[in-house]
Structure 1
Amino acid sequence: MYPSSSVTDAQWALLEPLLPPPGNATGHGGRPEKHCRRMVLDAIFYVVRGGIAWRQLPSEFPPAMTVYAVFARWVRAGAWQRIHDALRDRLRIHDGRHPLPTAAIIDSQSVPGADTVGRSSRGYDAGKKINGRKRHIAVDTNGLLLAVVVTVAGIQDRDAGLRLLASLRARFSTISLVWADGGYAGRFVTWAKNALALVVEVVKRTDDATGFTVLPRRWVVERTFAWISKHRRCVRDYETRPDHHEAMVHIAMIVTMSRRLARSA
Structure 2
Amino acid sequence: MNARRPYRSDVSDARWALIEPVFTAWRARRIGPGPAARVHDLREIVNAILYVNRTGIPWEYLPHDFPPCKTVYGYYAKWEADGTTQQVHDLLRDKTRRAHGRSPQPTAAVVDAQSVKTSTNVAETSQGQGIDAGKRTAVIGSGAAAFTALATLADLAKDEIGTHAVWILCRRISGSTFDGGTADQLPARGALGLAAKAAVDDGHADAVTGFRTEAIERDEDGRPILTGEDGRRLDPVDEVIVLTGFRPDLSSSPRSASASTYASRPPPRRPR
| TM-score normalised according to structure 1 size | 0.47
- Greater helix share, structure number: 1
| TM-score normalised according to structure 2 size | 0.46
Q: Which has the higher contact order (CA 8 A, sep 6+)?
A: 1
